[in-house]
Amino acid sequence: MLIGCGKNNIEQNDSEIQDSSTFAGYGGYWSYEGKTHEQIIAEGGIELSCTITEDNQFSGTLFSQQEITERFASIEDISGKIEQGELYFDYSDDEWGNSGTLHIQFLSDSIYVDVLNYKKADSGSDYGINGAFELIRQKEELSENDITDNSIYNSSWTEEEIIKAVNERSQYYKASAYYSEIIDYWENAREVRDITNVLEPLFETDKKYYTKEEFESEPMLVIHLAKNEIYARHGYIFKNEDLYNYFMGCIWYSPTCDSTDFDDNIFNEYEKANLEILSDLDTY
């Protein structure tokens, strides 16, 4: 059983809970002691990954791994609306048959998770998620300000530099709702099973003219992403969380221009023509 490793007797007062109407900024990866996912796999620990909309709708996963046995447990599809800085979620399985209620509190600089009403599986369980944990933002989390011109992929990079950048940004790519479908597309439609999917855009829409027929055979998600990567190529910062996470996961992308300041006159003739076709086809 995983024993709670959060602080004891946490004070539940108004000053601790973030006084804000929106908690969207809490989206991302949180863990005990700020461990990265790789550290948790190697050393054991607990991690909360989540996305939160502007109207405080939460979705996420709580994952834990034991260091010695390497046993892991997870509570998936956590969902609900954050109210007054708190969220309650009943779960019926943590991969070991245990059940309970998650009480998640969004504090000023941490997330506090407490497992209430914990019940072991009827058949007994040697492991599970139980206790209380104070989680802080993972140390590897990358912000827009951390991405400089030097961190944008170019052909002169060494393999070590490429792998480092891919690992740093992978947290965003995996947090996007498009992750599973676009990975499946690259692997099965394009038969690409390396990291090309984050090294370069889906299409060369800035270098050649495409026809409607070339695009309309593609999945709707791919058309949607192809349209938006025309903007992404010029540093457009997306307000949509899934688009933001998807492109932040691509090491060719540099978020440099807020949507309110973006001028589409920057597009070249190829991009303008391709954008017109893609906009007509995009119904995603």
Q: Is 155 helix (H, G, I), strand (E, B) or coil?
A: coil
Task: Name, in order, each residue with C-beta under 8 angstroms of 262's C-beta and a sequence gap of 6 or more.
Answer: 231, 234, 236
pLDDT of residue 14: 39
Confidence of residue 40 (pLDDT cuts 50, 70, 90): confident
pLDDT of residue 175: 83
What percent of the chain has pLDDT above 90?
Answer: 52
Confidence of residue 146 (pLDDT cuts 50, 70, 90): low
CATH topology assigned to domain 24-137:
Lipocalin (2.40.128)
pTM: 0.52
* Beta carbons within 10 angstroms of residue 79's beta carbon: 11
88 pairs with which residues across the strands?
Answer: 103
Bridge-based pairing state of the strands 86-91 and 111-119: unpaired
Stretch 100-111: mean pLDDT? 95
pLDDT at residue 70 greater than cutoff 80: no
Residue extents of the structural domains in the chain:
24-137, 144-281
pLDDT tens-digit readout, 223-243: 999 999 999 999 999 989 899
Q: Is 40 helix (H, G, I), strand (E, B) or coil?
A: helix
